[in-house]
Amino acid sequence: MAEENYFSNSFEYKNGILFCENVALEEVKTWLKNRGIKRVTPAFIYSKSQVETNVLLYKNALRHLERKTTLNYALKANMNPGLVRIMKTLGCSLTLVSGFELELALKLGFTPERIVLNGNGKETWEIELAVNNDCLLNIDSLFNVKQTIGVCRRLHRKARVLLRINPDIDPMVHQYNCTGKNGSKFGVQEKYFDDVIREIKSEPLIQLVGIHCHLGSTITSIAIFRESADVMLQIYRKLKHEGFEHMEYINLGGGLGIDYTKHVAVTTDPKILVKERPIDIPTPADLVKVVDEVFGDENISLILEPGRSLIGNAGILLTSVLGVKHGEPKSYIVVDGSMTEVIRPALYSAYHHIDLAVPSQADDKHKMLYDVVGPVCESGDFLGKDRYMSAPHEGCLMAVFDVGAYCACMGSNYNMRARPAEVLISGDKLELIRRPETLDDILAPYDI
């Protein structure tokens, strides 16, 4: 698909009814019921076309560069194999953070040599798995080099490693999403470079092939990426100068934000708290351009490893209204989705747009402010606060937007809630890419 075919409307309203590609979301309920599924909402719905568009926005920007480039999908953003397969078909590799993620990648047939295994705390078996498969391994600390040396000697195998740098740059995001500043547990700080480098140099089985950094997630300023490219280039040159002849890669991590306010209608109504779309988020093309400018003629292979910007806007949570509860000072729309599916509002005070997915049939639909909350027994269980919307009828379908990244995969069974169905839509085709959990699934590891 060409960049100009950018499908910005994978989720679009027609006459008040929300569609994903060519499918009205209310039809998904019937489709799931016809497959014998009793609990049809909440459900994650993904648009295949949106995933493809997101990948191609990166790919189209990267293919113009006169350097080797790799686009690694950060699988932690959403590990559903039904989605990861699409990434593979489109030519992505993967950045992983655990041994099970690596096992999944191998099962799905990704080329191990192009996979990056990252992590500030790797277990020995995870390092062994990566070394045995000749993956790229990120080194995160002095102890991590020693661990890796131990594994290489035992297995009599070489490890190709990237050194993860903590460049001490503020990504200007929620503190839990900040990973490349002093005070973060990730990467090696400048002060400790020499110790780590000395250790790497001491072992011929460790081959330093590049450096890595990841500043954080939800970044909305291109200047921040320019700064990190700049700092990384200086470190790259220094290491090359020190005789690391196999140095080839700079991996700049992921972190590009998405526009969570895209679906917010701009309004002058004083009651609406989010009045305008506040940010102009850089595109993948902006990011690639700035990095390439900084690297200039230097012969560097570039790795980018986005998660959110590849999958975030490709998913919604479809949820049904259980009831509307009026109160002082707050009124609530209680839905069957909750923090067990979408924890980002509770964890990071993140904004996810919420709207009715079908027109309201309530007797009194007048608009007012509601908190949209789930059934979980926690006051932190909310999906959105102070949302100005029409009163929905009981059973009304609602959509929580932009939940493709860091939602299903951060879900839990808290309150013994079952993880919901996940459906992939492509044109007018539906595919169940995860069935909802049953009570037996939840109880399986226990002795009852």
Stretch that binds ligand LLP, among 11-19, 212-220, 320-328, 440-448 (CB under 6 A): 212-220
Looking at beta carbons only, is 6 or 348 nearer to ligand LLP?
348
Q: Does position 307 bind ligand LLP by CB under 6 A?
A: yes
Positions in 112-171 near ligand LLP (CB under 6 A): 118
Looking at beta carbons only, is 93 or 426 nearer to ligand LLP?
93
- Please select the residue that binds ligand LLP; options are 53, 54, 70, 95, rule is CB under 6 A: 95
Positions in 1-60 near ligand LLP (CB under 6 A): none
Q: Does position 253 bind ligand LLP by CB under 6 A?
A: yes
Marked catalytic residue, from 377, 396, 407, 409:
377
Q: Does position 247 bind ligand LLP by CB under 6 A?
A: no
In 3D, which of 310, 295, 160, 158 has the Cα closest to residue 234?
Answer: 295
The two three-digit tokens of residue 348, written as one number: 């990071």
First-to-last C-alpha distance (Å) of the chain: 52
Q: Where are the beta strands (DSSP E) in 331-381?
A: 332-335, 354-356, 367-373
Q: How far apart are CA 189 and CA 117, in angstroms?
A: 20
Looking at beta carbons only, is 118 or 220 nearer to ligand LLP?
118
Tell me whether residue 409 is one of the annotated catalytic residues: no
Looking at residue 410, the DSSP 8-state letter turns out to be G
Q: Which residues, including other chains, have CB under 8 Å from residue 245's CB and lie 6 or more apart?
A: none
- Please select the residue that binds ligand LLP; options are 74, 94, 169, 391, rule is CB under 6 A: 74
- Shortest Cβ distance from residue 44 to ligand LLP (Å)? 15
Give the HSE-up count for residue 4: Cα atoms under 13 Å, Cβ half-sphere: 0
- Please select the residue that binds ligand LLP; options are 255, 374, 384, 392, rule is CB under 6 A: 255
Looking at beta carbons only, is 29 or 352 nearer to ligand LLP?
352
In 3D, which of 205, 102, 98, 99 has the Cα closest to residue 154?
Answer: 205
Q: Which residues, including other chains, have CB under 8 Å from residue 330's CB and lie 6 or more apart?
A: 369, 370, 371
Looking at residue 411, the DSSP 8-state letter turns out to be -
What would the DSSP string read from start to end of 103-129?
A: HHHHHTT--GGG-EE--SS--HHHHHH
Q: Does position 233 bind ligand LLP by CB under 6 A?
A: no
- Please select the residue that binds ligand LLP; options are 227, 305, 355, 381, rule is CB under 6 A: 305
- Shortest Cβ distance from residue 350 to ligand LLP (Å)? 6
Q: Does position 315 bind ligand LLP by CB under 6 A?
A: no
What would the DSSP string read from start to end of 186-225?
A: SSEEGGGHHHHHHHHHT-TTEEEEEEE---BSSB--HHHH
Produce one character per residue of 119-135: b if its CB has 16 or more CB atoms within 10 Å, e if not: beebeeebbbbbbebbb
- Please select the residue that binds ligand LLP; options are 20, 32, 62, 77, rule is CB under 6 A: 77
* Residues at the interface with ligand LLP (CB under 6 A): 74, 77, 95, 118, 177, 179, 214, 217-218, 253-256, 305-309, 344, 348, 405-406
Instruction: Point out the residues that are catalytic.
Output: 377
